[in-house]
Structure 1
Amino acid sequence: MSKLGRSSKQNIVLLIILVALCVFFFSQNDRFISMRNMMSMVRQSLPNLLLACSMMFVIASGAIDLSVGGVMGLSAMFYGYLCIWGVNPWLAIPIIMVFGAGIGVLNTVIMEKLKIPAIMATLATWIITAGMALTVCNAIPISDELVKPITAWNSMKFFDSIPLALFIVVAVIIVFIFLEKKTLLGKYAIAIGGNDSAAYYAGINVFKMRMIFFILSGVIAAFSGIWQVGRLGSADPTIGVGMEFSVIAAVILGGVNIKGGEGTILGVVIGTLILMILTNGMQMMGIDSFFQQIVTGIVLYVAVLVNSLGGAKKKINKKMVAAKE
């Protein structure tokens, strides 16, 4: 255990917490571990899991993307209108994902070229996209039959019980772990988040890498909006409300340093699962939704505190090593 890196130790602790929560909620309600409930959680939490993976790269690189909720809502509305205008529902999916990539490019240009902090740039994008989602439909969801064909993938099952959502989640997580471990994206995200100026002088194209991270975030947000249309059976402009905060909470809980320079996809996935199980377990226990928010907030506070203390300890150790040299 002592030979493991800080991220590995964090992931082990998070995994223990995850198992402990499962045991506790199962002791309160034996239907918690049922296949039906587990698969229902996967379908509901698919956007959170996918967005958390893409957000890991963004935050680890020292930025943040608050626009994902707005992009989800606007993507859902554009998807609904494309279907109404006669575009094949399945062909509309890649079109909307290209739109999401465009939002990622826009965020990057505003940040890097206009020198506007990420939190302000993406906050503005969030407000604009969320407002446009409500404006284009006068806040009325699109429930036309032409939008319905996509609902098939929400009910699609393999081996009579395993939903398509599980395969999508597993496939995307594997891709992001590959990007983190086997490509330069993971190394460069950490390097840029640690010190973007040093990364630039080391030969890393910071603008290009940040654009890749934000494009990934935009594409995943667009896809998540479409997924929610399929799950709900209608294009609702409020489909992504609050999603940005849920995702950022899961990412921080998963051990990603909010200031950048540290984080893993595995940790983020476990952090998302913890919040997912915590919410579902409290719902099955009949706990009031407002109290659920309080519990989630306390968990996030603890996660940030542990993250900060760990980061401070790391800096002290580095200074002690440097002093000895």
Structure 2
Amino acid sequence: MNSNTSPATNVRLQIVWVSVLMALGLYLTRNSLGEIVKSDSFLKDSWLVQAESTRFSVELTDGLSNSSIQTWLQSCQKPDAPRLDFSKIKIPHTVLDNQTSSQADLLLSELESLGGSGFKRISKTQIGTILGAFFFSYALFQVPAGWFSDRLGARRMLSIYIFLWSILTLMTGWVASLYGLMFARFLFGFSQSGAYPTSSAIVRRWFPISSRGRASGLIAFGGRLGAATAPFLTTLLILQTGSWRTVLWLYGLLGIAIAAAYFWIVRDRPSEHPACNAAEQDLIGPIGDDQKPQLKDIARMIGKYC
């Protein structure tokens, strides 16, 4: 049977669904570290707690009156007490950051002797720096990542990006210090910065103007689903496996599988895909970069999705 008279194949459906999986994995791995921080899993990790570079915050919970707090602050000002930046102390909810482990333990001991209570966490400043490293590199490399995709091919580069952030997720499960976490998150931001620009190029080449909004919406839905799933799934896996590191290893392996599937299924253009017949290529229409949407196409998409 001649391919010109055959029904149109539906390779586009495979491409959009593997792209949905890509976006789901992107947000799942991106948000997982934040959920790990919220669960205080770092504080239970002997490698991170014992690292010399790790700092801690001490937070007052309850049990102290304002006068008791003043007494405690006076005790902190003794010559042998840790040096503190008192400009950052807030009453009645007291938060002291950037303490060594021994300083934090001493402060907690003094709190308890005054009849109060508190708890120790990994330094808020350090956690903020680690999480911020991702967004810094993510913003910094958006344009260069898109340039690489234009030069070397969207299919190849997005497969590499997925593979890179999956490997970095695996590697994050082996880091032994917060500085290592910060470096891993910086590289993680670079690898994810090219995901959506590159995915948009694939959508432009594989879908006619009238259905690009639907395809892009499905991919965006995959990302939001990953973000919504991350808190529940990450916490559940930590409870089941007993280790935040194991969770990142599992996410990394999942991402590697998605990278392989993306490279296997996607091609840069319909004409390069062995399973995309002439009927589907005619349905997709011209994909030249000079093709511009008509006003009626824009109005149709606005009416459908707004």
Query: TM-score, normalised on structure 2?
Result: 0.32
Please tell me whether Structure 1 or Structure 2 has the larger radius of gyration of its CA atoms.
Answer: 2
Query: TM-score, normalised on structure 1?
Result: 0.30
Report the structure, 1 or 2, having the larger helix content: 1
